């Protein structure tokens, strides 16, 4: 975030410094007005202010935070928290139409592109009320001096869907400005005290979603972002349920009614589940056809080893999983039909310990997992093509990574502040931020982008 007075030094740092392990860049980046500077590699983004309006102020705060958490822009903040007020051209909905770049005649307002450019902005975002009282968000291309996108917000406080609408609008602004949609309109589920909770990607709106008084485990998202699957403990049986988050409807997966079942994962097309099942023969990976509600298939045969935590590749052709067949648990891979099982993530005997909780990246190019290092779990990422392994964290105990849909951010559990909370790391910059501040958080799962209902 640019706060005028720091960016000259930040921009001079070598790129490698921004990729250091577990690094939190300073929050006070920027230059003071009037000082010549060289912008960083990321485009400058200016969030414009306006007349005091409680709803617009609330939306503007969400938009600014979403843009910041995308890690794709240098956010420009004026000294002392001041903001720039602009007028909206007569018809800002004309995407691509130029707006006046000079002071207006008495007839109307204008957008001050030269000033925004002088402040280092490549883009500017404005939250406004239209003539009919509705709320909209506009993205301005400062260098091109034109409107790039405008999105209407139909909700109003205290509409519970207002936040997700604002997140979707911001993600669209990120897509237009960077070429890749943002991650604001996503959610995380996690465990706290044996109950599943949901939280927005910015850490707001924590909500319990699983039934009270029922012990649960290992939630995972469906590709559509509307349902999760999880394990429910009870009467010595560990059953799998699919929960519709909008309606609260729960569906028992029939073959799991009388056995111990763990760590479920949806296939990319949501037609099948992979999960671990424990029997007298050990723990093995099974799949079940949800579309036909039939056809339980065993993929691994333990023979004195345990196999669990399956994760599908994005094309659905392979499954990575954990097996302790080499002694300590390590990451293996197989075809979706169970053939071709082999060690996937290389490890060093005596140097690193067990590896757990693999998750395939959305682009299929990487696997994230945690591995014991000197007695503490740390988050690693493996490049699938080269099988090179890179350690991402080092402060405290860090485990259970899960990918954002942009394939650039990971959420993980860390106790670096004294209690187990959810944190996010940006793999491009190394920036780390805290998401939750609840009692204790465990086993997060990051949703796909939440579409329109």
Tell me the per-residue pLDDT of 270-301, one tens digit each, with 9 for 90 and over.
999 999 999 888 899 999 999 998 999 999 99
Residue listed under structure tokens 């670096």: 416
Domain of residue 54, residue span: 42-178
The answer to whether residue 3 sits within a structural domain is: no
178, 200, 224 - which closes a domain:
178
pLDDT in tens, 300-331: 997 788 999 999 999 999 999 999 998 899 99
Report whether pLDDT(183) > 60.
Answer: yes
Residue 134 confidence (pLDDT): 82
Q: Are residues 240 and 358 in the same domain?
A: yes
- The reply to whether 205 and 161 lie within a common domain is no
Same domain, 341 and 399: yes
Same domain, 166 and 195: no
Give dist(CA 407, CA 80) in Å, integer. 35
Q: Indicate if the pLDDT at residue 25 is higher than 90.
A: no
- Answer yes or no: do 226 and 160 share one domain: no
Q: Kindly report, residue by residue over 367-417, the tens digit of the pLDDT.
A: 999 999 999 999 999 999 999 999 999 999 999 999 999 999 999 999 999
Tell me which of 352 and 91 has the higher pLDDT: 352
CATH of the domain at 171: 3.40.50.10070
In the listed set 158, 178, 198, which residue is the last one of a domain according to the structure? 178
DSSP H or E stretch at residue 58: helix 54-69
Cα separation, 318 vs 295, in Å, equals 19
SS (H, E, C) 205-232: CCEECCCCCCCEEEEEECCCCCEEEEEE
Q: Is 262 within 8 Å of 217 (Cβ atoms)? A: yes
Number of domains in the chain: 2
Which pair of tokens denotes residue 453?
A: 């209902």
pLDDT band (50, 70, 90) for residue 4: very low
Residue 397 and residue 279 share a domain? yes
> Could you say which of 178, 212, 244 is where a domain stops?
178
**Does some domain include residue 4?**
no
The CATH number covering residue 226 comes to: 2.120.10.30
Q: Mean pLDDT across the chain, nearest whole number?
A: 84
10 Å CB burial of residue 108 (0-12, 13-18, 19+) is exposed
Same domain, 141 and 204: no
Residue 233 within any structural domain of the chain: yes
- The answer to whether residues 340 and 220 belong to one domain is yes
pLDDT (0 to 100) of residue 3: 35
Q: Is residue 278 part of a domain?
A: yes
Instruction: State whether 156 and 192 are in the same domain.
Output: no
* DSSP per position, 233-273: EETTEEEEEEEETTT--EEE-GGGTTSEEEEEEE-TTSSEE
Q: How confident is the model at residue 161 (pLDDT cuts 50, 70, 90)?
A: confident
């Amino acid at each position: 975030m640019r706060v005028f007075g720091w960016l000259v030094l930040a921009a001079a740092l070598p790129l490698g410094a921004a990729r250091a392990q577990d690094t939190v860049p300073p929050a006070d980046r920027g230059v003071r007005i009037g000082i010549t500077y060289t912008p960083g590699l990321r485009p400058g983004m200016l969030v414009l202010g306006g007349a005091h309006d409680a709803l617009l102020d609330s939306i503007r705060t969400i938009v600014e935070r979403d843009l910041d958490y995308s890690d794709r822009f240098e956010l420009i903040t004026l000294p002392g928290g001041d903001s720039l007020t602009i007028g909206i051209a007569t018809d800002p909905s004309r995407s691509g139409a130029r707006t006046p770049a000079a002071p207006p005649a008495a007839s109307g307002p204008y957008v001050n592109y030269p000033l925004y450019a002088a402040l280092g902005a490549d883009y500017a975002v404005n939250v406004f009320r239209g003539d009919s009282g509705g709320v909209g968000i506009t993205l301005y291309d400062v260098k091109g001096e034109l409107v790039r996108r405008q999105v209407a917000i139909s909700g109003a406080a205290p509409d519970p869907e207002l936040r997700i609408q604002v997140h979707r609008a911001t993600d669209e602004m990120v897509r237009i400005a960077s070429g890749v949609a943002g991650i604001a309109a996503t959610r995380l589920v996690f465990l706290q005290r044996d109950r599943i909770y949901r939280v927005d990607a910015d850490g707001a709106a924590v909500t319990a979603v699983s039934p009270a008084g029922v012990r649960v485990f290992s939630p995972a998202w469906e590709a559509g972002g509307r349902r999760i699957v999880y394990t429910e403990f009870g009467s010595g049986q560990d059953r799998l349920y699919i929960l519709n988050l909008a309606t609260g409807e729960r569906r028992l997966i029939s073959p799991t009614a009388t056995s111990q079942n763990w760590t479920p994962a949806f296939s990319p097309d949501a037609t099948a589940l992979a999960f671990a099942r424990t029997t007298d023969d050990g723990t093995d990976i099974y799949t079940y056809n949800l579309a036909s509600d039939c056809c339980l298939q065993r993929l691994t045969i333990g023979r004195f080893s345990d196999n669990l935590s399956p994760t599908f590749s994005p094309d659905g052709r392979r499954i990575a999983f954990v097996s302790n067949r080499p002694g300590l648990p390590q990451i293996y891979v197989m075809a979706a039909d169970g053939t071709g099982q082999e060690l996937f993530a290389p490890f060093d005997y005596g140097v690193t310990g067990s590896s757990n909780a693999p998750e395939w990246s959305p682009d299929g190019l990487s696997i994230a997992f945690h591995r014991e290092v000197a007695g503490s779990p740390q988050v690693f990422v493996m490049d699938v093509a080269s099988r090179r392994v890179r350690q991402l964290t080092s402060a405290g105990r860090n485990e259970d990574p899960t990918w954002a849909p942009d394939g650039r951010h990971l959420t993980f559990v860390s106790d670096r502040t004294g209690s187990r909370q959810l944190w996010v790391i940006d793999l491009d910059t190394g920036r780390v931020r805290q998401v939750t501040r609840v009692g204790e958080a465990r086993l997060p799962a990051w949703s796909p982008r939440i579409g329109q209902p």
